[in-house]
Structure 1
């Protein structure tokens, strides 16, 4: 990518048999495409554009985009041609490698960040690639701790643990880990969202937040000591709160984000409130990463029925975050 504009963000479609490629073709019809370079198979993107009846002209990575219907491309071929809606494990390495390439370009500063489409975890693992999620992959590649957040216009939900079996969650919750998660979340709310004094609601792990220890002791032994220590440092934290009432509208008006203890404690609420109008943000990386909040939707792929709202919102958010970080950089370096 010699000569590419550093302000560009990498656009990675994800699973080639899913709706990711056509979402990228939809995105290219907007002015947001001016800030993106796709790391993908060019033929795949052309096939996706044709399947939804949209024009698509693919340009070199360092080209100027004149308007909608054009998209810069860093061509990376699939291993084999495929059909929309039909998974093929032979293309799993293509998916994995495109994500890693984007991560390395972003870490090097060649890209300002990444916008990523949906990945099918099952087919990657079937191909022998140990993969629990793109969030975990990018964290391992960057060598840093990260936090997964899903966000919509109405609600931001971050996770203390991500893709774990439910029986593994209590053991994964430690004071050190929870403290680090809250520090990353607090810093990101300030830096990326521009919230000067973030207010964070922290959920308990157990029903009724443990009910004074009668329904579990994680709130007493892990969560509360961390909250007390961080409050002493000036953070505005409430909790641990019972999850069944924390998402009441009047409660959400009093906070800027909610920290859930595990994946399905917080995300079903957010997706119910704003599916297709939310994004998945990885906090704590040295670059911006925003993804769609949904899966590969194989049953819709190639039929022109997929809603591009989450992909468009992901690009908008990533571009906004990157611009904010660029404005902050001179002050941070001063």
Structure 2
């Protein structure tokens, strides 16, 4: 990411609290406590103050909270009142899913209205979300629905390795079906545009193969030749610096060592496993293809350690930093338009 993206005053970045029974509140208050006051002033938490106050007491964070727009040095909170909060730590509860949805919905509306510059999301629990009646496969699908977007893409970003996914939270059978020429091409385009936005003049993109060894000329499947290769060729014809399909068992090693800036992963685990292996604590989840910016930690609610104060906030700090850079780049684009 370019280091010279300027930062100027603008709307705050919204942080959603996630499932209040998970580690989201803990990592948020830890991250806020680690930031200088001038940076906290450019953030607003969309959540429930009582949950934040409990988390602050738990981790010993020296923070106070205030309503969004109020004077003072406290952390700004866009208050969302949810009956029954705070919940017991680590307990799967539909109330947690309802809270998580309402936090995200409010943050989306604030960002669409220009009152916030983008969204950083703490983790949600998909089962709790669905038990509450919100039937989404996770943040990415929910955000697409809330913003009326036709589709969206999940990009995982770390310093040395980045991956964008053709599909995410679907069965492996469905993921294979979704790896169409049109979807692969759209994924390449989305990744290329995003990297250009954050400072890569000519991103170098690799497209991973779907089958072992890209199918070995049809020996292990024909999808790589029939679907993925045509997408790569079309992207090349559009001027994108892209190669592939490249066998997935080597492409991430090559990208990690500098041969490529981005890998197009054909399905969830193909992209997530290498990313979490090399950058578990620092990978940022970025949603592309939406009219608003959203980043997230790349971990779950961790119910098993919720309430212990052990959750690591480094990933949240990385997500906040990425969101602030996206907000700065959007302001630069608006001034140039």
What TM-score, normalized to structure 1?
0.93
Deviation of 1:55 after TM superposition, in Å, equals: 2.1
Aligned twin of 1:237: 242
Deviation of 1:90 after TM superposition, in Å, equals: 2.5
Matched, 1:181 2:190: no
The change in CA–CA distance for 1:260 and 1:252 in structure 2 (over 3 A counts) is farther
Q: Which structure 2 residues correspond to residues 16-31 of structure 1 after superposition, within 5 A?
A: 16-29=20-33, 30-31=35-36
Match of 1:77, SS? coil
Match of 2:271, SS? helix
The two structures, once aligned, show a CA RMSD in angstroms of 1.5
**Equivalent residue for 1:74, pick from 57, 71, 78:** 78
What TM-score, normalized to structure 2?
0.92
Gaps of 5+ in 1: none
Determine the C-alpha separation between the residues in 2 that align with 1:292 and 1:87: 20
Determine the C-alpha separation between the residues in 2 that align with 1:90 and 1:311: 24
Residue deviations 1:231-290 (CA, integer Å, cap 9, x gap): 011100011010001122477411111110000012111101011111101112222211
Determine the C-alpha separation between the residues in 1 that align with 2:241 and 2:159: 21
Aligned twin of 2:104: 99
Matched, 1:50 2:54: no
Bigger drift between 106-115 and 85-94 goes to: 85-94
Q: Retained in 1: the 8 A contact 2:96–2:128? A: no
Q: Tell me how many residue pairs correspond in the alignment.
A: 324
Match of 2:284, SS? strand
Q: Retained in 2: the 8 A contact 1:39–1:73? A: yes
Match of 2:183, SS? helix
Q: Which structure 2 residues correspond to residues 269-288 of structure 1 after superposition, within 5 A?
A: 269-288=274-293
Q: Retained in 2: the 8 A contact 1:78–1:91? A: no
Residue deviations 1:124-151 (CA, integer Å, cap 9, x gap): 2223321201011101222222210111
Match of 2:170, SS? coil
Aligned twin of 2:129: 124
Matched, 1:304 2:309: yes
Determine the C-alpha separation between the residues in 1 that align with 2:273 and 2:208: 14
**Equivalent residue for 1:218, pick from 212, 216, 223:** 223
Deviation of 1:77 after TM superposition, in Å, equals: 1.8
Residue deviations 1:22-66 (CA, integer Å, cap 9, x gap): 111112211332211111010000001101111221122124564
Aligned twin of 2:12: 8
Determine the C-alpha separation between the residues in 2 that align with 1:194 and 1:65: 36
Q: Which structure 2 residues correspond to residues 160-179 of structure 1 after superposition, within 5 A?
A: 160-179=166-185
Aligned twin of 1:34: 41
Match of 1:213, SS? coil
